[in-house]
A and B are shown apart, each in its own frame.
Chain A
Amino acid sequence: MNPVNYLYLAALLFTIGAAGVLIRRNAIVVFMCVELMLNACNLAFVAFSRMHGNLDGQIIAFFTMVVAAAEVVVGLAIIVSLFRSRHSASVDDASLMKL
């Protein structure tokens, strides 16, 4: 199969993820959309790796997965503690950090 198709898929997934981050208010959903964007990037990296015939992209994909895992740990912890204190998972409710 033509590897370019994977790139199209990656772009589609990234767009869906970005739209989700911008549009949805639920912190969990926003979070999942971020994960979707990360994985779209991973897919693109792997596709490029295949197209160029070297392993650089795949190695970066592993790095991304590690960082994403760490981010999930921290991010979920923040969301849970936010929910505990405010009984809400809406990102718009947590808008106190402003002048």
Chain B
Amino acid sequence: MENAENLIALLVAAPLLGAAVLLCGGRRLDRAGHWLGTVLAAASFVIGAVLFFDMLGRGAEERTLRQHLFSWVPVESFQADVAFQLDQLSMTFVLLITGVGTLIHVYSIGYMAHDERRRRFFGYLNLFLAAMLLLVLADNYLLLYFGWEGVGLASFLLIGFWQHKPSAATAAKKAFLVNRVGDMGLSIAIMLMFTTFGTFAFGPVLAATGETSEGMLTAIGLMLLLAACGKSAQVPLQSWLGDAMEGPTPVSALIHAATMVTAGVYLITRSGAIFNAAPDAQLAVAVVGAVTLLFGAIVGCAKDDIKKALAGSTMSQIGYMILAAGLGPVGYAFAIMHLVTHGFFKAGLFLGAGSVMHGMNDEVDMRKYGGLRKYMPVTFVTFGLGYLAIIGFPGLSGFWSKDKIIEAAFAKGGTEGWILGGVALLGAGITAYYMTRVMLMTFFGEKRWQPAPDPDTAPSVEPGIEVHPGEMPHPHESPRSMTIPMILLAFGSVFAGALFSLNGAFVNWLRPVTDFEHGHPPVSAATVTVSTVVVLLIGVGIAYAQYGRRPVPVVAPRGSLLTRAARRDLLQDDFNHIVLVRGGEHLTRSLVYLDHTLVDGVVNGTAASVGGLSGRLRKLQNGFARSYAVSMLGGTAVLIAATLLMRGV
């Protein structure tokens, strides 16, 4: 196709137009607004698909398209352009974002049908898509930063969509503030790039890593890692993700599957050349990933809130991606592959969770579910396929991508390889455990349904849905606008991994951008695969023994110390509170003390001494003309004496 690059801007423009029209259009769009938003998201997907097939038609080396829109800030050597770059990596993200994003739009039509602010919701969703597309299509770090901040804004608006609930408003603020910490990292990284390379466009920066000192590259890499930690909810900036569940469920699906948390993985993969040249920063990435994948998995094991359990699993799965991205060219392609497959099954799982909540009076506590498979067959099957995919059941999507990451982690070599690989393997077992737990508690076992709570005492009930206090839930299958996206995502969960692994199709597709090396694990690949499956079965078995064979208590048992800590998100908020909040308070208090004593002391002391001195001096003004005459005479005498003395010298 001629001039295919001219279409790139349309990818961003379509959802951006939707956001502008829906947010500025006012109430007269209330009736059709959700269709407009969905159609524009779908339009963006269609354009993405056209560009994808166009890209397939060209040779591997000619696939990168560039479009220069306009010069944004042209100042001497500081050249910031609004320019797009569409290569295989961006293309993958574009299809994921617009594809899964469109399905979530369709789902939201049904899910938000009773919300009177639905038009605004779709405007925010479109804004989210536009910002994320800008992020992955930018050809320089500054424009990427623009999209990065746009994503932060949209997530703030969506997490706090039900802002009348104080918990939602707080969660939105928390997400925004924690993200700011990461954003600082990105802005410092960009400044360092500009001072080091004199530019921040991807091409020149990534090409110039060979001639730069490793120390500087390590600094840039660590700052980029901090940024990725913020957006992708990695330790130590992970605390916002669990609270972000306060947003409507489609928002959770969008944040966890298509946008937002994938941005950090994109950033690290895109900056691969920098990390390859700075092994220390790269190792830090892998360690952060490994720590987070265990952290998220442990949190996921203890949560009774279905959405929070899924949030823990997202944290853990993103940890896998970051771990893979920290392994260098061995892992980049698998990080992205896991990202895409995770996009399918995590979106499916979240939409399934939303569907369950929809049928259960918006109850989120899994201890009050049970036996739902008969009442919600479509949700059960799609959720079940997503479940099998995420635990890495052989043949399904998650298996193909996660197994490769574990293999690549072992291939790191040496003690590091054994530790990282062991952690990844252990994580797979824990994943199997907590996901089986979610599955059993929700769809199997006896019914543990509880009457709907009084909305006054339980403000977490989502608005717009009629809930009568004391009424028993009567679960039903969700409307078709909700089930069809779930079915489509389930197809992705089942087949995407195998399709990508066919002749290494995905790896070959990404190879020109991310480079690829075959890892050589110390044990054979088959051994890794078999042990992964064994660990998985052990995890499933333990969960079945605990939650399948024994009845699930409606009130959570006290649990072990670890369980209680995990219920409190492994004390992340307590840690933040004690170290950061208290620490900050102590710091400000000591600064205030210093200000009062030292700074004010100097200032007040000066003022008091000047005041006292002038109080004495003013006695000289006594009104007696003869006294003034003496002063004048004395002064003159002193002046004359001084003049004579100076002349003598």
Cα of A36 to Cα of B347 in the assembled complex, Å: 108
A22: which of B618, B621, B626 is its contact (CB, 8 Å)?
B626
* Across-interface contacts of B465 in A (CB, < 8 A): none
Is A91 close to B, CB under 8 A?
yes
Q: Are B629 and A22 in contact, CB atoms less than 8 angstroms apart?
A: yes
Q: Are B626 and A91 in contact, CB atoms less than 8 angstroms apart?
A: yes
Which A residues between 58 and 99 are near B, CB-CB below 8 angstroms?
Answer: 91-92, 94-99
* Across-interface contacts of B625 in A (CB, < 8 A): 30, 91, 94-95
CB distance from A41 to the nearest CB of B (A): 12
Q: Are A92 and B624 in contact, CB atoms less than 8 angstroms apart?
A: yes
Q: 7 pairs across A/B with beta carbons < 8 Å?
A: A21-B629, A92-B626, A95-B623, A95-B625, A96-B623, A97-B623, A99-B618
Q: Are B633 and A95 in contact, CB atoms less than 8 angstroms apart?
A: no
For chain B, give the interface size range: 10 to 19
CB distance from A58 to the nearest CB of B (A): 23
Cα of A92 to Cα of B625 in the assembled complex, Å: 7
Q: Are A95 and B622 in contact, CB atoms less than 8 angstroms apart?
A: yes
Is A18 close to B, CB under 8 A?
yes
Chain A residue at smallest Cβ distance from B619:
A99
Q: Are A18 and B633 in contact, CB atoms less than 8 angstroms apart?
A: yes
Is B630 close to A, CB under 8 A?
yes
Q: Are A95 and B624 in contact, CB atoms less than 8 angstroms apart?
A: yes
* Across-interface contacts of B626 in A (CB, < 8 A): 21-22, 25, 30, 91-92
List residues of B whose CB falls within 8 A of some A CB. 618, 621-626, 629-630, 633
For chain A, give the interface size range: 10 to 19
CB distance from B625 to the nearest CB of A (A): 5
CB distance from B431 to the nearest CB of A (A): 85
Cα of A7 to Cα of B623 in the assembled complex, Å: 34
**A 23-45 to B, binary, CB cutoff 8 A, 1 in contact else 0:** 00100001000000000000000
* Across-interface contacts of B624 in A (CB, < 8 A): 91-92, 95
CB distance from A98 to the nearest CB of B (A): 3
Cα of A97 to Cα of B623 in the assembled complex, Å: 5
CB distance from B616 to the nearest CB of A (A): 12
Q: Are A22 and B630 in contact, CB atoms less than 8 angstroms apart?
A: yes
With A95-B625, A99-B618 given, name 9 new contacts (CB 8 A).
A21-B626, A22-B626, A22-B629, A22-B633, A91-B626, A94-B623, A94-B625, A95-B624, A98-B623
Cα of A99 to Cα of B614 in the assembled complex, Å: 12
CB distance from A79 to the nearest CB of B (A): 12
CB distance from A19 to the nearest CB of B (A): 10
CB distance from B154 to the nearest CB of A (A): 67
A98: which of B621, B629, B630, B633 is its contact (CB, 8 Å)?
B621
Cα of A99 to Cα of B626 in the assembled complex, Å: 17
* Across-interface contacts of B618 in A (CB, < 8 A): 99
* Across-interface contacts of B623 in A (CB, < 8 A): 94-98
- Counting chain A CB atoms within 10 Å of each CB, which of B621, B629, B630, B633 scores highest? B629
* Across-interface contacts of A91 in B (CB, < 8 A): 624-626
Chain A residue at smallest Cβ distance from B624:
A95
